[in-house]
Structure 1
Amino acid sequence: MSMDFNFVSLFLEASIVVKAIIIILMFFSVLSWAVIFSRSRLLNKARKNSLSFEDRFWSGEDFGRLHEGLENRRDQLNGSEQIFYVGFKEFSRLQQANPDSPESVIQGTGRAMNLALNRELEKLESYIPFLGTVGSVSPYIGLFGTVWGIMHSFMGLSAVKQATLQSVAPGIAEALIATAIGLFAAIPAVMAYNRLNVKLNKLEQNYINFIDEFTTILHRQVFTKK
């Protein structure tokens, strides 16, 4: 018999509870892979956009002109672009409102950029915790299905005069498939969760470094003018 046929046979012969658990775990697995692909693509794109914008930022282009260029596609900004846009806009506003208070200008600009940073991270990290949840609970859900299936098999032996391995083995095999599916859902989810968090942390640190560098430049400008 083929492996697919064996799995289908075990699933069809399992109890209703075990079937429900297998379906739930397969659903978790499908959702996990959808999150893995979507978040990986999003983080890779954010990383490339960040590097591209920072190359332009350090090219010596006038900040006012750079800000005007970003204004034309305001709704499409993300990452370092969004942080710069929000920061420079707040910097310009505060300079006009408090020309004699450079410290408050820098502090207000920093708060605006940190707020933009938090919003960017919220968008990037959405759904990633779901992978951690799947990775932590799936083995236990599968184990519950296995325990239930084995218990169901042994309860069925009460109606049999002579219990043999041949009579018990099918029920145990049906039950163990739930644990296998639980691990099948959990292992990729845990690996992806860790990998995506590493990427997210690197991107966050890159944004933080950009904020520090941009703040230093603005600090130098306002105190030089003073």
Structure 2
Amino acid sequence: MEMMGNMGGIALGVLILLLIASLYSWTIILGKMGTFSKATRESRNFVNAFRRATRLQEVAAFADNYKSSPLAQVYVDVYETYKRQTGGSGPPKNLTPLERSAQTAASEAITALERRLTWLATIAATSPFIGLFGTVMGVVDAFHGLGTAGAATLRAVAPGISEALITTAAGLFVAVPAVVAYNQFAARIRVFAAATDDFCRELLNSLEEIPARSSAPREEPQEVARGFRD
């Protein structure tokens, strides 16, 4: 605490800025951990329910229970497009609008998962430099004080330099968790994107195979969502 009290205004301002950045980054990290955990769990459950269902209307009835799942979001949008085409029964008249609906829904779902990750990347990239700036300014202040006091000894300069180095350590303390979290979240988003693409293809294939005058019988779906593992 004594060292903090002896810090210059710039170094203290840098520490306050890094503290704010750290709090915000941890808010993002903890929020995203909850979001990804819920999305993974609901996507796994939705896929299992989708595989057991025998009618499109049956899937639509429980899809709203999995609002955090990108796969469920894709299904809801595609099914709405399908209903506008066919009234809810029979084969689709044109697959192109369904494909566009699936692509749009998948893109929107993945974009929602990516929200605020740019802030996490920015904090990870800039925090070490902000800390280094505080260190440089602290060293400048220390040497300026030496010139004013006229005592050019290690004992005189060491306290000022040690205080200045705190900002570099603080910058690394903020950046390292942000870097690790960003890389982990980016990897999980790639898994979600691949699983969503697979589900889009399976869903469109199922719609294409609906026979005429049928509400929605489907062939046994192939394995999808391979990214959702325990």
TM-score class, shorter-chain normalisation, is: 0.7 to 0.9
CA shift for structure 1 position 101: 7.9
Query: Which structure 1 residue ranges, 5 or more long, are not aligned?
Result: 1-7
State whether residues 7 and 163 of structure 2, in contact with CA within 8 Å, keep that contact through their aligned partners in structure 1: yes
The 1-side partners of 2:114 and 2:173 are apart by 23
The 2-side partners of 1:77 and 1:194 are apart by 21
- Corresponding residue for 1:60? 53
Which among 109, 114, 129 is matched to residue 118 of structure 2?
Answer: 129
State whether residues 28 and 185 of structure 1, in contact with CA within 8 Å, keep that contact through their aligned partners in structure 2: yes
1:225 aligns with 2:218: no
- Corresponding residue for 1:40? 33
- Show the 5 A alignment for 1:63-142: 63-70=56-63, 76=67, 78-95=69-86, 102=93, 105-142=94-131
State whether residues 91 and 209 of structure 2, in contact with CA within 8 Å, keep that contact through their aligned partners in structure 1: no
- Corresponding residue for 2:221? none
The 2-side partners of 1:80 and 1:23 are apart by 42
TM-score (norm 2): 0.85
The 1-side partners of 2:157 and 2:166 are apart by 15
CA shift for structure 1 position 82: 1.5
State whether residues 40 and 69 of structure 2, in contact with CA within 8 Å, keep that contact through their aligned partners in structure 1: no
- Bigger helix share: 1
Aligned residues: 212
- CA shift in 2, pair 1:77/1:194, >3 Å: closer
CA shift for structure 1 position 77: 5.9
State whether residues 70 and 77 of structure 1, in contact with CA within 8 Å, keep that contact through their aligned partners in structure 2: no
State whether residues 21 and 142 of structure 1, in contact with CA within 8 Å, keep that contact through their aligned partners in structure 2: yes
Which among 107, 118, 139 is matched to residue 150 of structure 1?
Answer: 139
SS at match of 1:225: coil
The 2-side partners of 1:168 and 1:145 are apart by 16
* Structure 1: 4+ residue segments shifted above 2 A: 68-71, 99-102
Query: Which structure 2 residue ranges, 5 or more long, are not aligned?
Result: 214-230
Q: Percent identity?
A: 28
Q: CA RMSD in A?
A: 2.1
- Corresponding residue for 1:192? 181
Which among 28, 39, 42 is matched to residue 21 of structure 2?
Answer: 28
